[in-house]
Structure 1
Amino acid sequence: MRSNSSLSLLLLLCISLISATHATDCSSLKLTGGKKQYANCTELPVLNSTLHFTYDATNSSLSIAFSVPPPKPDGWIAWAVNPTATGMAGSQALLAFKANGSMVVKTYNISSYSSVVEGKLSFDVWDLEAESDKDGKMVIYGSVKVAASAKKLNQVWQVGQGGVDGHPMKHEFAKANLAAVGELQLVEKLSPAASSPSPSAQAVANSNSGYWASEMNAGFWILGFISLIILM
């Protein structure tokens, strides 16, 4: 009887552990608006920012939701792609701020650190919108066209204090602001011996591969432990 009770308790523990391994890395990065579902998400290393994204290889597009708190309620936030370099100069930016109480998104071609010009970007963008949530964060939603052969992008993100006459003020040059650059991996890197799934499947796998591996390891450990109890 004691053995059966112990086995039942162990099975309940196993179920709890397996359920925990099903939680994706995005579980703590949910968007409060919940406008769309995205295949991937990542916590960016600085400025308390997150990026949700889906790469669609069929039409070479990237749908994003960039979330970050501005320095002040009337500040601005921006997410950008740099087609030619890894820094801010040359980046093509989506910039959001409040205008007359409502959130707006505008596009800026940042040709240099001293020149931030509102205008059309070097690639197509669509479905642009922005919102602010109750936690003080602002969110930029949108889709951008990427090169058909692209496996990664140079991304830049930033926040600023506010604007003057409709133009965003310069952001601070603190350590976190200067470090707000990096690569966005669209397609998972594979070893030479591995087979190559479609790019869209790779983009989804990029966010899920880690927790699947953990789940398999936990499953084998649990099955082995159960077998040991039964043999005893």
Structure 2
Amino acid sequence: MVKSKLPSNTQQPSSNSITMIILFFLFLFISHLSTAFSAHCSTVTATKTFQKCITLPTQQASIAWTFHPHNATLDLCFFGTFISPSGWVGWGINPTSPEMTGTRALVAFPDPNSGQLVLLPYILDPSVKLQKTPLLSRPLDIHLISSSATLYGGKMATIHNGATVQIYATVKLVPNKTKIHHVWNRGLYVQGYSPTIHPTTSNDLSSITTFDVLSGSAATQHNNMDMLKLVHGILNAISWGILLPTGAVTARYLRHIQALGPTWFYVHSGIQLSAFFFGTVGFAIGIRLGEMSPGVTYGLHRKLGFAAFSLGALQTLALLFRPKTTHKFRKYWKSYHHFVGYSCVVLGVVNVFQGFEVIGEGRSYAKLGYCLCLSTLVGVCIALEVNSWVIFCRKSKEEKMRREGLISGSDKGSGIHSGTHSGVLG
């Protein structure tokens, strides 16, 4: 027999690795927070200075405004960015509800004839959402006093991917109605003078906000929602995407190391219970985010989340009904435990990647960092799997040589080596 000998601090590298992974994700979390809060709004433009501003929750957009209560007039400037040289950027007000349908919009795009920036008014009726007819410009039925659009950078600025546009508007509001539904978005191209449909990522579908132009009170709510999204993503990436697979790895490879004894089980259980606890918190935050975003649904991400959480709950409950090793139903419990456990790991990892796509971070450094962590874990698994097969083949060869009498039953560890040399020297 070949015995595996590990020093007494065998579990230390595993715990250190987990700690490093958690610290890495916390670093990404803090850096993401600093990026989010550094994208502040500005009350000063080249032509006007406004009293208040708010950073909008999506597309790095913002609004600066001045409200004149004595005549219910709103002066504002919307800051947006193009995502294509032939694209469009739009902002508007929905007089009745926080949704795209019914929005009175101002859309800026390059003139197809001259290439110069133009700003035209549009009313987004239900036929636009269903794409039954092209979106055609027509006068707005709200009291729009003036409107204009300029590119950041002055007359020498050109429209390109990432170019910033400022849409100015002066609107006469209904007296005593200062809570306004703002809608904004951007698209890839324009057909003639008809803006085409915008992308349908979560950021594009949730580009709606409501705030009081007198107080700007909705700003705190949006910051809280952004914070919840970050916490939701970080917790789920660590729990379902890192800790849960790590717990499965410890059970598969550490249990065969005799020097550890039952320590592997406590390590495995501790990691998995921690993963389920943090995953439950992330799952609850996801439910809350869904309640805070009416009309915005992420079908696949939501279904995968519910499935992973349900399997994780079943695994946790299975610990209460774990039969003893001598019980006749033990083998059936092990089969169930392995199937549900690996299914939960696969669903969790897939949903982490789906989450990156949902929040529009499909090409972010956060996703790259997660891929590096996951790749490291996969590499460790491959190395341990190869090592297990080497030990298995060595043991099989030993047993075969013992049966053939080439080595004695008392020879352990160095039996193969001694048998080989005695044959050569004899």
Name the TM-score class by shorter chain.
0.5 to 0.7
Return the letter of the residue paired with 1:119: R
Residues 140/104 of structure 1: CA separation in 2 closer, same or farther (3 Å cut): same
Q: CA deviation at 1:26?
A: 11
Where 1:107 maps in the other structure, the secondary structure is strand
Determine the structure 1 residue equivalent to 2:94. 82
Quick check: 2:43–2:65 contact (8 Å CA) kept in 1? Answer: no
Where 1:118 maps in the other structure, the secondary structure is coil
Q: CA deviation at 1:28?
A: 4.4
Quick check: 2:146–2:171 contact (8 Å CA) kept in 1? Answer: no
Alignment of 1:38-117 (within 5 A): 38-99=50-111, 100-112=114-126, 113-114=129-130, 116-117=135-136
Q: CA deviation at 1:93?
A: 0.5
Determine the structure 1 residue equivalent to 2:241. none
Q: Looking at secondary structure, tell me which structure has more strand per residue.
A: 1
Query: Which of 136, 142, 147 is the matching residue for 1:123?
Result: 142
Quick check: 1:154–1:183 contact (8 Å CA) kept in 2? Answer: yes
Determine the structure 2 residue equivalent to 1:19. none
Return the letter of the residue paired with 1:36: K
Where 2:125 maps in the other structure, the secondary structure is strand
Q: Which has the higher contact order (CA 8 A, sep 6+)?
A: 1
Runs of 4+ off more than 3 Å: 25-28, 30-33, 114-117
Q: Looking at secondary structure, tell me which structure has more helix per residue.
A: 2
In the alignment, is residue 177 of structure 1 matched against residue 204 of structure 2? yes
Query: Which of 149, 155, 160 is the matching residue for 2:187?
Result: 160
Q: CA deviation at 1:126?
A: 2.7
1:36-59, CA deviations, whole angstroms, 9 ceiling, x for partnerless residues? 010110110101101011111122
Quick check: 1:26–1:41 contact (8 Å CA) kept in 2? Answer: no
Q: Which deviates further from its counterpart, 164-173 or 114-123?
A: 114-123
Residues 74/132 of structure 1: CA separation in 2 closer, same or farther (3 Å cut): farther
In the alignment, is residue 138 of structure 1 matched against residue 165 of structure 2? yes
When the two chains are superposed, the root-mean-square deviation of aligned CA atoms in Å is 2.5
Q: CA deviation at 1:27?
A: 10
1:1-35, CA deviations, whole angstroms, 9 ceiling, x for partnerless residues? xxxxxxxxxxxxxxxxxxxxxxxx99943378521
Residues 123/186 of structure 1: CA separation in 2 closer, same or farther (3 Å cut): same
Q: Aligned pairs, how many?
A: 168
Q: CA deviation at 1:122?
A: 1.7
1:54-113, CA deviations, whole angstroms, 9 ceiling, x for partnerless residues? 111122111111111111122111111111111000111011111122211111011121
Return the letter of the residue paired with 1:84: T
2: CA distance, partners of 1:86 / 1:28: 24
